[in-house]
């Protein structure tokens, strides 16, 4: 009689041995008093050192026929310093002159985005005008920009340069469900965008510095209100084309320096945005540059990219410049209780004025988009297979 086969006993599912968890202690953010001590130490050396020598010629065409278009303080954060925007009388390129150095850019950008991030949860030291203007980067504007690319085949990969928290890729993903969106930004916001699932890969730094590992990787590169922040817009454009595949598309939106509001509102025109905006490029200049770089311009648009915030922004900047100072660390001393109370009361009292300006901006938007009051333009260009011209 054959032996009874031994039935294999079921094995319990494998369970990995639990590993000890090392607690992560995040560094505490310095207090306002500690940050004030750092700021005051830097300001004691003066702000002139934050500027390069004034250049005598236009950085775009080389002409020496310059005129001063604007002289203004920092109306957003109210940090010390005066900034000049010159305009070339030959090509109409407008640029900050003298331009901020790398150290100066770091000084004036410091706490700018951090204040925005903190104010998503609660208001802290964010400037009054800064809070009032933040709504211009709305979801509908992102979706409208993404729709401009629906006329082309759906891209496999898309890089959004200057993505910040990745709100544009999140909005565009609803229209391009099979596209992989990556984000690039010089700040840690892009890492938070990846953690939130808004981008698949996060690249932190400057695009010209990352060309080596991103070359010919993307079908679309978008730059929304990014070039005006760059010390060298031409370098950024060359880098964008380098990471595009042949036949890929470059999508650019920038403020329009030909907008009539620039002359009408003067230093209160939001798109001047000193000291952050280093260049304001007329449409014709950017089109010529893309042609020199071997691109075919597919479309230009001055209507849809218009952002209805010119009147609201001018009013917010004007009100913010008159309010008692807040508890910003670059101010010599914190506000008194009376100043805090007065600031709060005035802020609440002027809210209806801002609301009225907001309504007026949006009511006039359909008309303004068809006139020289449009404040931004969009370019879509295709990268040609041929090599770009020597520059």
Give the count of beta carbons closer than 10 Å to the beta carbon of residue 117: 16
pTM: 0.86
Report the pLDDT value the prediction gives residue 114, as an integer from 0 to 100: 60
- At 115, the pLDDT band (50, 70, 90 cuts) reads low
Eight-state DSSP code of residue 281: -
Supply the range of the domain harboring residue 156: 138-307+376-383
Report the pLDDT value the prediction gives residue 2, as an integer from 0 to 100: 52
Assigned domain for 98 exists: no
CATH number of the domain where residue 214 is located: 3.40.50.150
Average per-residue pLDDT for the chain: 88
Assigned domain for 291 exists: yes
In Å, how far are 83, 112, 117, 193, 213 from 134, measured between CA atoms? 23, 12, 11, 18, 33
Stretch among 232-246, 301-315, 330-344, 376-390 having the lowest mean pLDDT: 376-390
Assigned domain for 209 exists: yes
- For the segment 63-90, what is each residue's pLDDT rounded down to a tens digit? 999 999 999 999 999 999 999 999 999 9
Assigned domain for 222 exists: yes
Assigned domain for 256 exists: yes
Write the CB contacts of 166 (distance below 8 Å, at least 6 apart in sequence).
Answer: 160, 181, 183, 189, 190, 193, 194, 196, 198, 199
Domain count along the chain: 1
Assigned domain for 3 exists: no
- For the segment 290-329, what is each residue's pLDDT rounded down to a tens digit? 999 999 999 999 999 999 999 999 999 999 999 998 899 9
Query: Do 38 and 111 touch, CB atoms closer than 8 A?
Result: no
Q: Is the pLDDT of residue 220 over 80?
A: yes
């Amino acid at each position: 009689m054959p032996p009874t086969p031994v039935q294999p006993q079921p094995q319990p599912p494998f369970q990995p041995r639990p590993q000890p968890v090392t607690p992560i202690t995040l560094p505490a953010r310095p207090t306002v008093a500690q940050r004030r001590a750092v700021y005051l130490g830097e300001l004691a050396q003066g702000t002139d050192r934050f500027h390069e020598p004034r250049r005598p010629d236009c950085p775009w065409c080389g002409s020496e026929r310059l005129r001063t278009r604007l002289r203004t303080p920092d109306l957003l954060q109210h940090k010390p310093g005066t900034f000049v925007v010159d305009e070339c009388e030959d090509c109409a390129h407008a640029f900050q002159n003298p331009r901020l150095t790398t150290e100066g850019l770091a000084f004036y950008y410091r706490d700018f985005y951090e204040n925005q991030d903190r104010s998503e949860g609660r208001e802290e030291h964010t400037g009054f005008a800064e809070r009032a203007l933040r709504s211009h980067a709305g979801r509908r504007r992102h979706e409208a920009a993404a729709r401009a690319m629906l006329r082309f085949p759906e891209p496999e990969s898309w890089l959004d340069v200057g993505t910040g928290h990745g709100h544009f890729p999140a909005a565009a993903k609803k229209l391009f469900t099979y596209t992989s969106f990556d984000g690039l930004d010089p700040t840690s916001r892009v890492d938070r965008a990846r953690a939130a699932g808004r981008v698949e890969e996060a690249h932190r730094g400057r695009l010209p510095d990352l060309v080596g590992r991103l070359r010919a990787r993307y079908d679309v590169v978008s730059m929304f209100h990014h070039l005006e922040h760059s010390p060298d817009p031409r370098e950024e454009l060359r880098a964008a084309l380098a990471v595009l595949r042949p036949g890929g598309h470059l999508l650019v939106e920038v403020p329009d320096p030909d907008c009539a509001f620039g002359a009408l509102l003067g230093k209160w025109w939001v798109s001047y945005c000193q000291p952050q905006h280093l260049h304001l490029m007329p449409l014709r200049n950017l089109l010529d540059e893309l042609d020199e770089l071997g691109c075919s311009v597919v479309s230009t648009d001055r209507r849809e990219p218009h952002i209805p915030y010119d009147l609201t922004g001018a009013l917010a900047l004007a009100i913010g410049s008159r309010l008692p100072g807040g508890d910003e660390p670059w101010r010599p001393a914190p506000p008194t209780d009376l100043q805090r109370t007065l600031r709060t009361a005035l802020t609440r009292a002027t809210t209806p004025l801002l609301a009225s300006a907001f309504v007026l901006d949006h009511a006039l938007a359909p008309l303004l988009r068809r006139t020289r009051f449009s404040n931004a333009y969009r370019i879509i260009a295709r990268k040609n297979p041929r090599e770009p011209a020597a520059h």
